[in-house]
Structure 1
Amino acid sequence: MQFTKEEKKMLAWLRQQHEGWRSVRVIILTCSILCALFAALDIFRTGFGVHPFFLILIAGYGASYTLGSWSGRPEVSLLLKLVEAQQPLRDDQPGDQVD
């Protein structure tokens, strides 16, 4: 199977997004932990109120989202592995030249 330049560009973008998730998940998890710590400090200082409640919600959502999809989307990983096994994605392949 031969891919067009647009399809190769789309696959390269998909690979970049998939690899970028590694750094994004650490950032989201760190922010979630910080939100939980700020909520705990706010509860100890002023008691349980609206502000700590929203911080706990944000921390819980961020942590569950990150931990639930820690390894990324499996369908994207499988697709990229299948494409790489089929053919390497290089722009200098002989079949890409148009006369």
Structure 2
Amino acid sequence: MSTFIANTEAQSAYNTSKAAVAMMTKTMTSEWIGDNIRVNAIAPGYMKTEMTKLIFELGGELAHVLDMFPMKCLGEPHELGGLAIYLASEASSFVTGSSFIVDGGYTIW
């Protein structure tokens, strides 16, 4: 998600590294398309994990971010699985060079 927005926190190095992944996805696509290799990326938003639990709970460093979510909740890691299965299947045979945002609508603002 941070590929496509400037986070409200000061994170220029972090956002730049995420944007590099999107460009790497496009560049690898152009380099490997002749070998019938498709390259895509999943750009998840904030996910509810053990690592993020404390920073998003009430009083946590990023608790205020939840107010910015149209869906008013963090994503669950399992919610990325359907897209991963799609991208690994023949259903996505004409999909390459794309980055897919899975963020509960956070980047619509």
TM-score norm. by structure 2 comes to 0.28
> Which structure has greater strand proportion?
2
TM-score normalised to the size of structure 1?
Answer: 0.29
Structure that is richer in helix per residue: 1
- Larger radius of gyration between Structure 1 and Structure 2: 1
